[in-house]
Structure 1
Amino acid sequence: MKENDSRNSNSLLDDEDELTVKQIINGLEKLDQWNPVSTPDLQLFQQNVELEKNRIRKKQWKDLLTFISVAVFVLSVVIAIVYHEPIFYLYFQLVGIILLPLAFNKTRKKVRNEDLQQSK
């Protein structure tokens, strides 16, 4: 008797599953009809890739020229200071030597505090 009931419930589940699958397939077919899927043109993709490569190349050149300009300016200022007022150069060096350990000390403390907070 229990075997017969389980067969009937399994067949009902199978029928419901088949109905669900059919409804899903019908729904997907309707979606495909409303929004047809088409493969974009390969030339369009290639053109977009070329445009992006050119944009990146231009940006890299701009960044490189900016870096070189700033480096030349900084070196010019340092050279001018060394030749005209060498004492200022020595003062800057001393200030840098004094402030560098303080800067490292502060970053270490921040990292330690963050580690302690994360471990709690």
Structure 2
Amino acid sequence: MDIHERIRFLRKEKLQITQEALGEPLGLTRANIANIEAGRIAVTERVLISICDKFNVNEEWLRNGTGDMFIEMNRQQKLANMTAMLFKEEENSFKNRLFAALAELDEDEWELLKKIAEKTVHEKD
């Protein structure tokens, strides 16, 4: 599989996003992405690094097809990504409303939420 095929596979099969959604954070149009995926234009170093940075893709996999496709994120990185995503959401979206409600919980409410979560996990076992 060539790099342009890996980009197409990544977008369609793993990220499940449109060419437009892939191109936007990279500063590329849908047509640019279509041409890259078709192998009509070469993948520049800037585009390659941007794909890895914006979508947490392993550069070695994208360049050569070796290693894991994605870089494993730690808890802090996952929280940072979630926070960044919240800023892009509509202000009244469910995600923003949920996180705003969580931000207002006091210690007793957090303890209750913890008990509910633990009970739910134990019921699945």
**TM class by smaller structure:** under 0.3
Q: Which protein is richer in helix relative to its size? A: 1
Task: Give the greater-gyration-radius structure (CA).
Answer: 1
TM-score, normalised with respect to structure 1: 0.26
TM-score, normalised with respect to structure 2: 0.25
